[in-house]
Amino acid sequence: MRRLLGAGGAVLLGAAVIALVGVGFSAQAYSSPRGVLKATSLGMDTTCGKSLPHVTLSFATYADASGTNDAGQQVHPGGNPSWPSYGPTNVFQAPAHACVTMHITQYDSGGTLNNPVFAKVQGTVGDTESVVSSGKSISGCDGTSPLTFNGTPISAIQPCDVGHTFSLRGLPGIAPGFFVNVPLPLAGDAAGDNVGDLNTDPHQTVTFSFISGPKGTYAWNCEYPCGLSVASFGAVMGAYGYMSGYLHVV
Amino acid sequence: MSSNHNHGIHHATYESIDEEVAPGLHKQLHRQYVRGTIYVWFLLTVGGVLAGIYLTPIFMPHMNSPEGRAAVETVRVFTVAAAPVAALVCAVAIYSLINSRHRSHLDTPPVDGPPLRGNALASGAWLVVSTLLVVFLLTWGLAEWSSQQVVHADALQVNVTGQQWLWTYSYPAQTVILPGGKTLSIPKAVDATTLNLPIDVPVQFNVTSEDVTHGFYPTQLGIQGDANPGVNDVLRTTPDRLGKFVVRCSQICGLYHAYMYTQAAVVPDSTFTAWIAQGSAGQVLTSAKTTRGAR
């Protein structure tokens, strides 16, 4: 009897240890060493077409993870130098069933999407975004008109004028029909190592709103391949924390 | 032949070595451990067969196509066919674990059993049964596979593109033949991030990838195929039940492989027609309201 109890106890203890390790990995997987950026409340309004709690989130895409943002803080402490990165963090938090307005400041250059579908705005209010250009502009990839925006809502950009994208979807079992895709136009020539006063660097400020889904964790990633190796989806694209992250809807 | 007992373990001695290693079948069947194993085998076989027949449909997902239901039926048949084999292995293990367990610290290790010699009857029976079982499984699989190779010239064409880490769909310009003879004209390509299919219309998926290998797996359509860059992998099915499902990636493809899934649905003709019409202005289509139910 004692041996039986001992064997059973050992099995239970081992299972508990494995479960705790799994919980630890899970908690770590949805987190970021740079912390969680929580949405700021703006009260109730009809920005998203009906009366909803309205919140806002502001973050940016930087050309160099080892550089600093306009507050002088390092974008990605310990990050791989020369890799682009979202910042100040890659994990965000917003309330459920709320109108979420995001402001993304895009400082990086870019290129052509593998799949032109991601050059179109999807899932936002009116399926549009507004972009305001600042600083020195360059010509668009069609070689004629400058890549300059004045805040007028647009539904798509040229697939060859993409700096990054913000593509957001629910995890399996959470709002499977939820999908938001926002292309971020590339910035001008001076987009570089984001050191110093970034307000003088060319950048594109992209604003869009969407209605958040039910409570749960949503995953986002960039669909413009700016890495190395196969189809440019290696290196920075395959490493968590730079071009991918989570949105916790609470 | 005499026997002596050692804490319940019987050791028989024999008049000759031949009698020891190759007793007649009659004597074998009357050995306690053989009878016990057969009893356990029979009970487990009955349980396995019943589980295969009645429990398999409960745990398998609701399928929206004949190919999907054929896959469920195949799982059921293979479970029943495998039940006696699995039961035999389990019966030998269970009986040995119970009957030959170490009961107390006074137990001495058992002496070696008699040396094993070949038994033509046992070897032959095992070979014949195994061959028949494999031939049956092969025939069943080939028959099911060949029945799914029918090509419909008027199938709805859907171009599927996998890239890290989302599926996108494109309905190229075509004329779709709907049930009842109606037609739906898609004048120019329509892009979508969800997959909607009209009920009872043959579909042909043209699957490819923009980067690495992905696995196109619409879970409840009963089909699955690789998405390889530069290659067009053709898959065919005819959804015949309304309902929602998801499309997953079945080939590990990188960081967010587990999140590479999209909403899908089999919808009535009218819903599909209205949904496709929204894409005529170049808008990328997302999910539409569907009606869930079985025919």
Q: What is the pLDDT of residue A207?
A: 97
Query: Which pLDDT band holds residue A33 (cuts at 50, 70, 90)?
Result: confident
Q: Write out pLDDT tens, residues B44-101.
A: 999 999 999 999 888 888 899 999 999 899 999 999 999 999 999 999 998 888 877 7
A36 pLDDT higher than 70: yes
Rg (CA), chain B: 29
Higher pLDDT, A168 or B30: A168
Query: Which pLDDT band holds residue B15 (cuts at 50, 70, 90)?
Result: very low
Q: Show which residues on chain B lie within 8 Å of chain A, measured between beta carbons.
A: 161, 163-166, 168, 191, 193-194, 210-212, 229, 244, 246, 248, 254-256, 258-259, 261-263, 282-284, 286-287
Average pLDDT, chain A: 86
B160: nearest CA in chain A? A115
Whether the Cβ atoms of residue A99 and residue A53 lie closer than 8 Å to each other: yes
Q: What is the pLDDT of residue A16?
A: 93
Q: Which of A169, A171, A211, A218 to mutate to test the interface with B (most CBs of B within 10 A)?
A: A169
Beta bridge partners of A87: A60
Sole residue written with tokens 């290129």: A111
B254 pLDDT higher than 50: yes
Give B216's contacts (C-beta < 8 A, 6+ positions apart): B160, B162, B167, B205, B207, B224, B225, B226, B227, B233, B235, B247, B249, B250
Strands, DSSP E only, in B118-173? 156-163, 166-171
Read off the pLDDT of each residue in A99-113 and give the average, rounded to a whole number: 92
**DSSP string across A43-95:** EEE-TTSS-EEEEEEEEEEES-TTSB-TTS-BSSTTPPTT--EEES-SEEEE-
Asked if A233 lies within 8 A of B254 by C-beta distance, the reply is yes
Of B82, B94, B98, B92, the closest CA to residue B45 belongs to B82
Chain A residues with CB under 8 Å of B246 CB are 172, 176
Asked if A233 lies within 8 A of B164 by C-beta distance, the reply is yes
Query: Which pLDDT band holds residue B13 (cuts at 50, 70, 90)?
Result: very low
CB atoms within 10 A of CB B34: 13
Tokens, residue A239: 């490493």
Chain A residues with CB under 8 Å of B193 CB are 117, 122, 179, 181
Q: Which of B103, B167, B169, B193 to mutate to test the interface with A (most CBs of A within 10 A)?
A: B193
Asked if B255 lies within 8 A of A238 by C-beta distance, the reply is yes
Q: Write out pLDDT tens, residues A181-212.
A: 999 998 865 555 555 556 667 889 999 999 99
Asked if B210 lies within 8 A of A114 by C-beta distance, the reply is yes
| A-B contacts at Cβ under 8 angstroms | 78
Of A115, A219, A238, the CB nearest to B210: A115
Asked if A117 lies within 8 A of B261 by C-beta distance, the reply is no
CB atoms within 10 A of CB A117: 22
A28 pLDDT higher than 70: no
Give A6's contacts (C-beta < 8 A, 6+ positions apart): none
Q: For chain B, what percent of residues have pLDDT higher than 70?
A: 84
State how far the Cα of B51 lies from the Cα of B83, in Å rounded to an integer.
9
State how far the Cα of B180 lies from the Cα of B193, in Å rounded to an integer.
29
Asked if A177 lies within 8 A of B263 by C-beta distance, the reply is yes
- Torsion angle, CA of B208/B209/B215/B217, rounded to 10 degrees? -60
CB atoms within 10 A of CB B295: 7
State how far the Cα of A173 lies from the Cα of A165, in Å rounded to an integer.
24
Reported pTM: 0.81
**DSSP string across B17-28:** HHHHHS--HHHH
A128: nearest CA in chain B? B283
B265-274 per-residue burial string, b: 16 or more CB within 10 A, e: under 16:
bbbebebbbe
State how far the Cα of A149 lies from the Cα of B174, in Å rounded to an integer.
36
State how far the Cα of A236 lies from the Cα of B259, in Å rounded to an integer.
18
Q: What is the pLDDT of residue B17?
A: 44
Chain B residues with CB under 8 Å of A240 CB are 255
| ipTM for this prediction | 0.84
A237: nearest CA in chain B? B255
